[in-house]
Amino acid sequence: MKRFLLFLPLLVAVAVGVFLFAGIGKDPTKLDSALIGKQVPAFSLRDLKQPESMLDESLFRGEITLLNVWGTWCPSCRDEHDDLMWLAREKKVSIIGLNYKDNRDDALVWLDRLGDPYSTVIYDPKGTLGFDLGVYGAPETFVIDASGIVRYRHVGVVNGEVWEQVLLPVINEAREKG
Partner 1 sequence: MFRIVCFLLATMASGMSFADVSAVYGFESRSEEQRYQELISELRCPKCQNQNIADSNSPISKDMRNVVYQMMLDGASNEEIVDSLVDRFGEFVKYKPDLDRRTFILWATPAIAVLGGLLVVVGVVVRSRRSGKAGPELTAEEQERAERMLAQRNQNGNG
- Told to check if 33 binds partner 1 by CB under 8 A, we report yes
Q: How far is the CB of 31 from partner 1 (least distance, A)?
A: 5
- Told to check if 133 binds partner 1 by CB under 8 A, we report yes
Residue of the chain from 16, 32, 56, 89 that contacts partner 1 (CB under 8 A): 32
Q: How far is the CB of 133 from partner 1 (least distance, A)?
A: 7
- Told to check if 131 binds partner 1 by CB under 8 A, we report yes
How does 62-89 read in b/e, with b if 16+ C-beta sit within 10 Å?
A: eebbbbbbbbbebeebeebbebbebbbe
CA distances from 150 to 141, 154, 156 (A): 11, 11, 17
- Told to check if 154 binds partner 1 by CB under 8 A, we report no
Mask for 93-112, x = binds partner 1 (CB under 8 A) = --------x-----------
Q: How far is the CB of 101 from partner 1 (least distance, A)?
A: 7
Choose among 119, 149, 127, 148: nearest CA to 140: 127
Q: Pick out residues in 42-81 that bind partner 1 (CB under 8 A).
A: none
What's the rounded Cα separation, in Å, for the pair 42 and 171?
22
Q: How far is the CB of 164 from partner 1 (least distance, A)?
A: 27
Rounded to the nearest 10°, the torsion over CA 85, 90, 96, 98 is -20
Q: How far is the CB of 22 from partner 1 (least distance, A)?
A: 14
Q: Which stretches of the chain bind partner 1, using CB under 8 A?
A: 28-29, 31-35, 101, 127, 131-137
